[in-house]
Amino acid sequence: MSDAFERAVSKQTRRRRSRAAAGFRIHAFWYVVVNLLLVAIWFFSSQPWGADEPWFAWSLFGWGIGLAAHWWTVRNRSDLT
């Protein structure tokens, strides 16, 4: 009976890992898409008039901290080991 229980727990753990990894991949995908869009907006709006401050860097930095925290959480969750 404990063997069946261990298989069920293992299956549940794999499912949690898969969902956590999928959530991180979605987060990373939108981070790249949105920030590339912001870089493009900055590039096309500032190029003819000279080099403006790269304001998109604030988004890269701030959201990057959140993305790194998400990665750290997914990688180090105790219920996923």
For residue 17, what pLDDT is reported?
86
Q: Locate 2 and state its tokens.
A: 């404990």
For residue 60, what pLDDT is reported?
95
In terms of C-beta distances under 8 Å and separation of at least 24 residues, what long-range contacts does 11-16 make, across chains too?
13/79, 13/80, 13/81, 16/79, 16/80
For residue 76, what pLDDT is reported?
87
User: Which residue ranges make up each domain of the chain?
Assistant: 2-80
For residue 32, what pLDDT is reported?
98
The per-residue pLDDT for range 8-53, each reduced to its tens digit, is: 778 888 888 889 999 999 999 999 999 999 999 988 887 666 667 8
Answer whether residue 80 shows pLDDT above 60.
no
pTM exceeds cut of 0.85: no
